[in-house]
Amino acid sequence: MKILGISCHYHEAAAALIIDGKIVAATAQERLSRKKHDADFPDLAINWCLSQAHLSVHDLDYVVFYEKPLIKFDRHLRIALAFFPHTLGWFVESMRNSLVEKLWIKSIIVAKLGIEEERVLFVPQHLSHAAASFYPSPFADAAVLTLDGVGEWTTGTMGEAHGHRVTMTSELRFPHSVGLLYSAITAFLGFEVNDGEYKVMGMAGFGKPIHIDRVRKLFTHHADGSITLHLQYFSFHRNAHRMYTRALEALFAGCDRFDIAASIQQVTEEIVLRMADVLYEKTKLPNLVYGGGVALNSVINAALLAKTKFKRVFIFRQQEMMERLLGLLCTCITMC
Amino acid sequence: MNIVIDRLKALSAKIIELETTILLSALYLVGIPFVWLLYRVSGHRLSVGWKPWKYQTDTLDACRSEASL
């Protein structure tokens, strides 16, 4: 079984190839195009992956895309409605992007690769995260936690995995997102979203978490581990170019940047640890597999092992997009 | 000559982008308010807290769909 995974039009475009359950090749388009965060259709990455296995496109059994485009489009429409009339600029930009390319990804794949429509598959983004976390892990059974900015609608999931089966049980939905909370502070501190989060994590070590009360004003933390963002502080749901509002600027006015970083790091850790505790109480499994963009925060990952009841934790060691790709391939293998 | 053609191409791209912006803005300002009213009347609210996972992902047919729920 030869399956090619593709991601593009958001983050870094990438391709990965699995043959009979073995990862044969995987690369990001930016490595070959030399364009940082290249999100174009990954033709170079696909060709490279196929060349590693001496295959052509026609040898492939399936080509899999990393998310469900129509569900993402549904989110864009509903968010435009939910926050009307503040979403004009956001609506125009998101519709332009969707109508030009994102909605037609199946046709684009079919046209560019010359394969039949029936061989193009789509896997929900957070299932990809979960699969990438579980299938390469050494565990036969594990609790599953994924946390991200946003997938189609999903910003986080809980579930279980046994044998060859990953079962997601619950999801947290946009706009209430741990990843976007962290990214909004990343943007406020002057870094690029989906790029500079690691710098905030690094900065945290040089500051003191003396603003955690301010950070906690940004959301409500529920007993079940979920969070509800207080949207008056955020604008990512109605503005494609700005993550936060003046209310957030006012909240952190005059605060030292390193102390803000230390505070968001500590609060995010509290959120993730509580979610993990809730998941442990639900599943009582000793093993945790953890994936998604938030799982790139290695400081929190260390705390997961040290401060929760999970005995062992497995986190896929790859950049987020590659993690998704390999996960969706693993998912498809279990079904084929 | 090539410079002229390139500039004309860039200009036409900008015109198309402007037209698209105007059309989408008009759609938003004229069309969305009616849908928004229905949306409000229906009582639809964005989800808060953990909700059951409802994607169907167990079969290849579900994966063939771009929108399977």
The per-residue pLDDT of chain A, averaged, comes to 90
DSSP A184-216: HHHHHTT--TTTTHHHHHHHHTTS--TTHHHHH
Does A157 contact B53 at a Cβ distance shorter than 8 Å?
yes
- Shortest alpha-carbon distance between residue A81 and chain B (Å): 5
- Shortest alpha-carbon distance between residue B6 and chain A (Å): 22
What the block records as the tokens of A208 is 């003191």
Q: Describe the strand order of the beta sheet including A14-19 as a list of residue ranges.
A: A22-28, A14-19, A2-7, A62-65, A120-122
Q: Tell me whether B25 touches chain A (CB under 8 Å).
A: yes
**In contact, A204 and A191? CB cutoff 8 Å:** no
Sign of the alpha-carbon torsion through A301, A305, A309, A314: positive
What the block records as the tokens of A133 is 């976390």
pLDDT value at A34 more than 90: yes
pTM (predicted TM-score): 0.88
- Shortest alpha-carbon distance between residue A198 and chain B (Å): 27
Partners of residue B42 in chain A, C-beta under 8 Å: none
Does A92 contact B21 at a Cβ distance shorter than 8 Å?
yes
The residues that bridge with A160 in the sheet, in sequence order, are A143, A167
What the block records as the tokens of B5 is 């053609």
Q: Tell me whether B56 touches chain A (CB under 8 Å).
A: no
Instruction: Supply the ipTM of this predicted assembly.
Output: 0.81
* Cis preceding-peptide flag for A124 (omega within 30 of 0): no
Q: Which stretch of DSSP H or E encloses residue A285?
A: none
Q: What is the pLDDT of residues B17-47, one digit of tens each?
A: 888 888 888 888 888 888 888 777 777 778 8
The band of A319, judged by pLDDT with boundaries at 50, 70 and 90, is low
At residue A66, what is the residue type?
Y
pLDDT value at A332 more than 70: no
**Mutant choice from B42, B55, B69 vs A, greatest count of A C-beta within 10 A:** B55
Length of chain B (residues): 69
Burial call B28-63: b when 16+ CB within 10 Å, e when fewer? beeebeeebeebeeeeeebebebeebebebeeeebb
Q: Are strands A2-7 and A14-19 parallel, antiparallel or unpaired?
A: antiparallel
DSSP A12: S
The residues that bridge with A310 in the sheet, in sequence order, are none
Partners of residue B44 in chain A, C-beta under 8 Å: 78
- Shortest alpha-carbon distance between residue A74 and chain B (Å): 9
Sign of the alpha-carbon torsion through A52, A58, A60, A64: positive
pLDDT value at A278 more than 90: yes
Burial class (CB in 10 A: 0-12, 13-18, 19+), A328: buried
Does A228 contact B48 at a Cβ distance shorter than 8 Å?
yes
The predicted structure's pLDDT at residue A280: 97
Does A122 contact B46 at a Cβ distance shorter than 8 Å?
no
Q: What is the pLDDT of residues B45-62, one digit of tens each?
A: 788 899 998 876 667 777
